[in-house]
Structure 1
Amino acid sequence: MFKSVRHVRVSDEIVNQVKTLISEGRLNPGDRLPPERDLVKEFSVSRPSLREALNTLVAMGFLEVRGKRTFIKSVASESMQNPISLIIKADTQKIFDLIEVRKAIETWGAFHAAKRATEEDIKHLENITEEMRKAFEEGRSWEKQDADFHLGIAQATHNTIQTHVMSTIYDLLRESVAKVFKDRSKVKKLLDHHYRIFNAIKSHSPDRAREKTLEHLNYVESEVKASTGQKE
């Protein structure tokens, strides 16, 4: 994936390579970079040069460090997430505006994912769906797999902006959705919806994928309304 660095300032070339991979969608939000020792070998650079480049990318908002690991960060997160979070905290009813935005973005995403998904994309979505099913059956937390499924669909569109925007929007919704869907029968329905969306994408049926995604989000909206005492 990475190329050896020659004839330019080393740290700048590393920064440019990583930014290019992000813009091309070959590195996506949440992807973990290899350990430093592996990156040093792939880039054919010294550890100080690598660290200088990584620190620059963190400062620019392309990477984030969690503990001892470094991850690709959504380029939309800083510019979108904080203002939207403040709006929702000030007026919780604005969560429905956000769900409305999800309907527009995710139905489009499912439509194009069904047209563009590769075998690798489909296998990735299948694995996530199965992981969510196992978590549900074993009584474990399922929220991560739920988020991964929606982000996986965005990645299957092969639209880099879609992937980064969805990463930000879903982070904002995940906590509130998890609070609503505590009843196992409701979580089971979410899982059933995921299977229907996945099967539509797997069979490369764009209209059906869009239809099933809208059904899913309408259900999420109705349950959030019920939990807040808002009438349909």
Structure 2
Amino acid sequence: MEDNVFRAIEQKKVSAQIIDQVKTLIASGKLKPGDALPPERELMKVFNVSRPTLREALNALSTMGFVKMAQRQRTRVRSLVPSNITEPLHRLLKEDMSTSLELIESRTIIERGNARLAARRATDADIAKLERCLVSMRAKLEAHDSVTEDDAEFHIAIAEAAHNKIQTHLMFSIYDLLKEKVGLCYMNDEKMAILDQHQSIVEAIKARDEQQALTRMEEHLSYVESLLNRLIAKESSVKQ
């Protein structure tokens, strides 16, 4: 037998095991971008570890870019899209509203596929989540409350229903950038029309009609794009 065939057994640190678990859950899609991890006390109990060990693992995950930590807030899963891509985009969107239209073009390409895949792959639980989003949005619109977060949640839920974790992370990042601009579309008389379009997309997904889901998503995004075009034109005329 050759020398050095065997290797020493490595005793893996407990914090490293926690890191591996969280990364595996993110990779499998069981933990999605924006999901809050349980409170620290609960995690300590689940993992059967001390606070310093848990903190060591969470800090490492934060440094790696998998989670976001903030004081007095739950630790949340981050998008896998690097912040060095999204942060410059965020600045551009603030300075030039027309950049939003380019991002919406990119979103349209992704969301067409998401709608089609969701019609093929959505589970009953996925469809129930989409329907809850519609109910929440209708109630808030009738109460004249903001639905900016709900709109983002709806479109991200479609990405989740497509069961492609890369698409989900991409959509989370896109809507994090776009939600303020898209929210402006709900400040006019067309807001109920947008909700009806959402309803029609869900109906197509529920009917497992891939082509209809794709078509209705295209119609919806085209409508939102036209609203934003009008807002940009109005903003330009005010500046002149």
* Shared fold (TM-score, shorter chain, > 0.5): yes
Does 2:121 correspond to 1:121?
no
Which of structures 1 and 2 has the bigger CA Rg? 2
Correspondent of 1:176 among 175, 181, 184? 181
Answer with 132-141 or 59-68: which moved more.
Answer: 59-68
Does 2:139 correspond to 1:140?
no
Give runs of aligned pairs for residues 87-102 of structure 1, distance below 5 A: 87-102=92-107
Paired residues of 1:128 and 1:148 also in contact (CA < 8 A)? yes
- TM-score normalised according to structure 1 size: 0.91
Counterpart position of 1:152: 157
| Unmatched 5+ stretches in structure 1 | 1-6
Aligned length: 223
1:57 is displaced (CA, Å) by: 1.0
Paired residues of 1:80 and 1:168 also in contact (CA < 8 A)? no
Correspondent of 1:13 among 2, 11, 17? 17
Distance, in Å, in 2 between the alignment partners of 1:30 and 1:22 is: 11
Q: Deviations over 1:188-224 (max 9, x none)?
A: 0110011001111112111111110000000001011
Structure 1 pair 53/68, CA: closer, same or farther in 2 (3 Å)?
same
Correspondent of 2:168 among 148, 158, 163? 163
Q: Deviations over 1:106-133 (max 9, x none)?
A: 0100100111111111111111111111
Counterpart position of 1:213: 217
Give runs of aligned pairs for residues 23-172 of structure 1, distance below 5 A: 23-66=27-70, 67-172=72-177
- TM-score normalised according to structure 2 size: 0.88
Q: CA RMSD in A?
A: 1.5
Distance, in Å, in 2 between the alignment partners of 1:100 and 1:33 is: 33
| Unmatched 5+ stretches in structure 2 | 1-10, 235-240
Paired residues of 2:122 and 2:205 also in contact (CA < 8 A)? yes
> How many percent identity over aligned positions?
44
Q: Deviations over 1:29-78 (max 9, x none)?
A: 11111111211122122221111101111121111124331111111151
Paired residues of 1:77 and 1:168 also in contact (CA < 8 A)? no
